[in-house]
A and B are shown apart, each in its own frame.
Chain A
Amino acid sequence: MSKRLIELNNISKSFNGNLVLDELDLYIRENEFLTLLGPSGCGKTTTLRIIGGFETPDTGSVMFNGTDITSLPPNKRQLNTVFQKYALFTHMNIEDNIAFGLKIKGKSDKYIKDKIEYALRLVNLEGYGKRMPDSLSGGQQQRIAIARAIVNEPKVLLLDEPLGALDLKLRQDMQYELIRLKEELGITFVYVTHDQEEALTMSDTIVVMNQGYIQQIGTPEDIYNEPENAFVADFIGDSNIIDGIMLQDELVMFLGTKFPCVDTGFGTNKPVDVVIRPEDVILSPPERGSLNGVVTHLIFKGVHYEMEVQAGGYEWLVHSTTMYPVGAEVGLSVDPFNIQIMNKPASEDEEAVSIEE
């Protein structure tokens, strides 16, 4: 694996007495696309702003390439930021926006001109140099903001919900654009979003955060397939989260039925959260399922049908390509390796506790 470029050690930060980050540890490797994912108020933007130098942590240190940069102001850091609402300079045309950082650094006119041309080509906006930011669409302004950042050849590009203000189609296009950019430039991306689909599409590594704590760090596949707790399971995609009891290794009971599973090491008769993805629930005629239930809702979603099935006293969310009408009796079953078992949080308050590595 490539070396660690940025390290956050023991970072805490509070605003007006509200603890936003609590003893956060995180490292970012060179050339990786790392996404900080979580609901609003989880501390992801604060983390990014601490890396960018716009906030100073109350405790802890930020290391960049082995040097402590905790108290270094933003204009002295070797990284650039793409802000949430673009933050373009509205009184300058596109060229001057892109050239801003280079002019500050005193680059030659020829160098700046070449860079502007290169950057505009990179974001597919050739010929827009003389336009004013206000005359561009949101997606175009976003791309200019990216161009303005990357002409400075930063080691790291920080992106704060850059696609948040765009409509769905444009957002999907921009996701591919960003992946392409990252590959062409070969620099590290740190990306903040609350959109799990964005995170799954683009990231090498996803950091799921909640209430100032890191919930899980892993590849998109890890995060989706092996969520470490109920929060992650619920936040990434839809999930059925059911109270259960781990009877023994590889056997769990929930909704009054015993299910074989593949998890071990929870002990015996231990209360756990059972997480099952809606697409992992198999519907069949009643006699063939582990549980019997009745379809209560049915929505056509395009690639699949979304159904709610009342079974065993729980309303199951089911995604299936086979349609059962409302009121139909069905059998439910789940393959053992699709049942995720998680420890329950010790108390309601600790729903957000940091997980041990």
Chain B
Amino acid sequence: MKNKKDRTKLMSGPYLFWALAFIIIPLCMIFYYGLTDRSGAFTMQNIMSIATAEHSKALWLSIGLSLIATLICLLLGYPLAAILARMKNRSGIIVFIFILPMWMNFLLRTLAWQTLLEKTGVINSVLAALNLPSINIINTSYAIVLGMVYNFLPFMVLPLYNSLTRIDDNVLNAAADLGANGVQTFLKITLPLTIPGIISGITMVFVPALTTFVISKLLGGSKILLIGNVIEEQFTQTGNWHLGSGLSIVLMVFIIFNMVISAVFDKNGEGNVL
């Protein structure tokens, strides 16, 4: 027995090595850089710098835009997931079509939106041809939210779809049988039973939206800085790894907070797609 157990342990070796080399060590390095200054002495300065006007503005803007994008994804995604779930077997091809854009490069998709939204871009050319007023949302927060919704909507729909298809038809029939109308059945049965999916979807949209710097860079121009852009700047332009790491640690706290909430609500791992 013991032998067999040891062998099972051995099989996890390659992954443990991977985790050590590419997850644990980098994490330790972030903490090392985040908690030291250039001379290598311990400091809380990097972490506390989140309180400066520039950084806290970027953080709150990130949180605000991510929350808005998450809410829009939820409002768009829930009805869509409900329709897909009701289609049962025939939904396969539609889910496939829906996921198809995800196979395209993330950068490419976002660049495409840039081209579409430009002042002289495709959308405005069409609007001009139709004698309609042009829309100028490129390089604004609207464009960033649009980019977030477009890129992360599938991550909202899939866990919702999963938790909706898990509801036995007869459970909904039973609610109707006991006198509930459609709205009552939705509020008292469907919605509570899909909370794991909702929480999972929120996490899967909110976390990447909070940390993105590509979407804000391409669709927000250089005017709008999200916390992701600030951190990226520290590593690629300013070369201040210590400050960049310190801010990353702050961001991590928000993400872990979100993960804890989702773990509490989703004990059975029901909403997970991955």
Contacts and interface: CB of A to CB of B under 8 A. Distances in A.
Interface of A: 52-54, 73-75, 80-81, 83-85, 87-91, 100-101, 104-105, 148-149, 152
B177 interface: yes
Given A83-B170, A85-B170, A87-B168, A52 B177 contact: yes
Interface in B209-224: none
Interface stretch (B53-61, B101-109, B130-138, B179-187): B179-187
13 contacts: A53-B176, A54-B173, A75-B176, A75-B180, A81-B173, A81-B174, A81-B177, A83-B174, A88-B174, A100-B175, A105-B179, A149-B177, A152-B178
B70 to A, nearest CB: 23
Nearest to B173: A54
Given A85-B168, A104-B184, A91 B176 contact: no
Contacts of B181: 75
Nearest to B172: A87
Nearest to B174: A87
B128 interface: no
A336 B107 CA distance: 88
A100 B189 CA distance: 10
A100 B168 contact: no
Interface in B159-199: 168, 170-171, 173-181, 184, 188-189, 192-193
Given A84-B170, A87-B171, A74 B192 contact: no
Contact of B179 (A84, A91, A104): A104
A46 to B, nearest CB: 14
Given A81-B173, A87-B173, 12 more contacts: A52-B173, A54-B173, A54-B176, A75-B176, A75-B179, A83-B173, A83-B174, A84-B170, A87-B171, A100-B180, A104-B178, A104-B184
Nearest to A152: B178
B189 A74 contact: no
Nearest to B188: A100
Closest 8 pairs between A and B when the two form their complex, measured CB to CB: A101-B178, A87-B170, A87-B174, A83-B170, A74-B176, A104-B179, A91-B192, A81-B177
A89 B193 CA distance: 9
Contacts of B189: 89
A90 B170 CA distance: 13
A97 to B, nearest CB: 9
On chain B, which size bracket covers the interface?
10 to 19
Contacts, number: 57
Contact of A74 (B171, B177, B193): B177
A87 B176 CA distance: 12
Contacts of A148: 174, 178
Contacts of A75: 176-181
Interface string B109-139: 0000000000000000000000000000000
Interface string B251-268: 000000000000000000
Given A87-B168, A89-B189, A91-B192, A101 B176 contact: no
A19 B193 CA distance: 35
A103 B189 CA distance: 14
A199 B253 CA distance: 63
A88 B175 CA distance: 9
Nearest to A96: B188
B229 to A, nearest CB: 41
Most buried by A among B170, B179, B184: B179
Nearest to A49: B173
A101 to B, nearest CB: 3
B169 to A, nearest CB: 9
Contacts of B168: 85, 87
A53 B171 CA distance: 15
A53 B188 CA distance: 21
Contacts of A149: 177-178
Contact of A89 (B171, B173, B177, B179): B171
A85 B176 CA distance: 16
A178 B180 CA distance: 26
A105 B193 CA distance: 22
Contacts of B179: 75, 101, 104-105, 152
B176 A73 contact: yes
Nearest to A73: B176
